[in-house]
Amino acid sequence: MQTHCISDQLEFEGFDAHKVVAGFDGGAITSDAGALLLRHADGAIGLFDRVAACFIDHRD
């Protein structure tokens, strides 16, 4: 199934005298670049271990 891409820009209500625009003209980009940021944060502050410590697993 092929996706339908929007090539126009979307303008939103401004904030603090700034114009807010969403543009879709970035070309070929990756959707998993956030994983690189998470890996860096994990290495710097042990993010994954800290988040995992917030949960108790009661399974046997």
What are 12-59's pLDDT values in tens digits? 777 787 888 777 777 777 777 788 888 888 999 998 999 999 999 899
pTM exceeding 0.75: no
Distance in angstroms (rounded) separating the CA atoms of residues 13 and 22:
11
User: In the prediction, which pLDDT does 49 show?
Assistant: 93
User: In the prediction, which pLDDT does 56 show?
Assistant: 92
User: In the prediction, which pLDDT does 5 show?
Assistant: 63
- Our CA angle for 40, 45, 50, nearest 5°, is 115
